[in-house]
Amino acid sequence: MTRTPVNVTVTGAAGQIGYALLFRIASGHLLGADVPVKLRLLEIPQGLKAAEGTAMELDDCAFPLLRGIEITDDPNVAFDGSNVALLVGARPRTKGMERGDLLEANGGIFKPQGKAINDHAADDIKVLVVGNPANTNALIAQAAAPDVPAERFTAMTRLDHNRAISQLAKKTGVAVSEIRRLTIWGNHSATQYPDIFHAEVAGKNAAEVVNDEQWLADTFIPTVAKRGAAIIEARGASSAASAANAAIDHVHTWVNGTAEGDWTSMGIPSDGSYGVLEGLISSFPVTCKDGKYEIVQGLDVNDFSRSRIDASVQELVEERDAVRGLGLL
């Protein structure tokens, strides 16, 4: 049977994440090896030429699943009929910019994009925000899209999740495939909390296998939380291929489901679970099935975890209040 192509919109398509992302979407890694896609690339006018160059290369790959590429600087065109939207393009912090300036500049991007999604996207639209500050940008876009169910707006913490899996696998000497049920809580920022208390290492409780609270507090958590900065320091540019890979993982899991007995981490609108203020876009442990996600309920949160989750949520409250003060919500 011939399937109808899925419309996938990518913003910031000419950027470094875009370059690492588009070829994998077109080759079937985002949605599945049997799902044809049409790409809509959104760029600012200065980015259009480079996006055209990337589109030429996509053509040159002759991907059987790629059924079309449209390039535009108009969000209303980019999100028209969109089924999946990856919001990657964002305003990076530049010299002399205060946090408030950054939030305001990004508000100028994510508010109109949210409105364009509201007005033009397909009914089943799923949105992943990658551009930083990802959680709060997702909140801005969601607020501008009152007709779209709030839970369709998500923020990426899958890179943090994958980073944490990799660090834990190294520490315990197992393959990454032996790690399950790890959780990233809170914001995609240095306050995030990678939680191993419910994680499993080859079927055993990870915290018990590690049995080293000092390593957890002084090595594991800061290594994961500050990995983005470490990559920038080493590469002279922020993570790109690993970020694109995490975006692929996030959407693939959302659409195709989590493995039996496992879960993943997604930044999603809080329903108040685990004391996280309702409405904030915060990272939780989630299972996915049939294109929907659910927060894993009933986990014990010990004092060590509680204080760290609360600190990250407090940062999200401050970011929300700042953008609210700027009239963006």
Ligand X SMILES: O=C(O)C[C@H](O)C(=O)O
Name the residues that contact ligand NAD, by CB under 6 A: 11-12, 14-18, 42-44, 47, 88-90, 92, 109, 130-132, 134, 156, 159, 188, 238-240, 243
**Using CB under 6 A, which residues numbered 235 to 254 contact ligand X?**
238-239, 243
Q: 186 touches which of ligand NAD, ligand X, none (CB within 5 to 8 A by kind)?
A: none
- Residue 131 labelled as part of a binding site: yes
CB 117 to ligand NAD: min, Å: 13
Cα–Cα distance between 120 and 96 in angstroms, integer? 36
User: Is 18 known to sit in a ligand binding site?
Assistant: yes
Residue 15 among known ligand-binding residues: yes
Tell me which of 188, 198, 250, 252 is the catalytic residue: 188
Q: Which does residue 71 touch among ligand NAD, ligand X, none (CB within 5 to 8 A, set by kind)?
A: none
Q: Is 26 annotated as a binding residue?
A: no
Active site residue 198: no
Q: Which does 36 bind (CB under 5 to 8 A by kind): ligand X, ligand NAD, none?
A: none
- Tell me: does residue 231 bind ligand X (CB under 6 A): yes
Query: Is 93 annotated in some ligand binding site?
Result: yes
Partner whose footprint covers residue 131, from ligand X, ligand NAD, none (CB < 5 to 8 Å by kind): ligand NAD
Burial of 213 (0-12, 13-18, 19+ CB in 10 A): exposed
For the CB of residue 209, give the shortest distance to ligand NAD in the complex, in Å. 27
Can you spell out the DSSP letters for 126-156?
A: EEEE-SSSHHHHHHHHHHT-TTS-GGGEEE-
Classify strands 200-201 and 37-42 as parallel, antiparallel or unpaired: unpaired
Cβ contacts of residue 73 below 8 Å, gap of 6+?
Answer: 42, 43, 44, 45, 47, 48
> Per rule CB under 6 A, is residue 159 in the interface with ligand X?
yes
SS3 content of the chain, % helix, strand, coil (to 5): 45, 20, 35
Quick one: what does residue 231 bind among ligand X, ligand NAD, none, with the CB cut-off 5 to 8 Å set by partner type? Answer: ligand X
Choosing from 7, 9, 132, 154, the residue that interacts with ligand X (CB under 6 A) is: 132
What b/e string do you get for 123-137 counting C-beta neighbours within 10 Å, with b at 16 or more? eebbbbbbbbbbbbb
Kindly state the tokens that stand for 176: 């990454």
Residues 71-101: b if buried by 16+ CB within 10 A, e if exposed: bbeebeebbbebbbbbbbbbbeeeeeeeeee
Closest approach, Cβ 91 to ligand X, in A, equals 12
Asked if 205 touches ligand X (CB under 6 A), the answer is no
Residues 6 or more apart whose Cβ sits within 8 Å of residue 318: none
Is residue 186 annotated as involved in ligand binding? Answer: no
User: Could you tell me which residues are annotated as the binding site for NAD(+)?
Assistant: 12-18, 106, 113, 130-132
- Residues annotated as catalytic (active site), given as ranges: 188
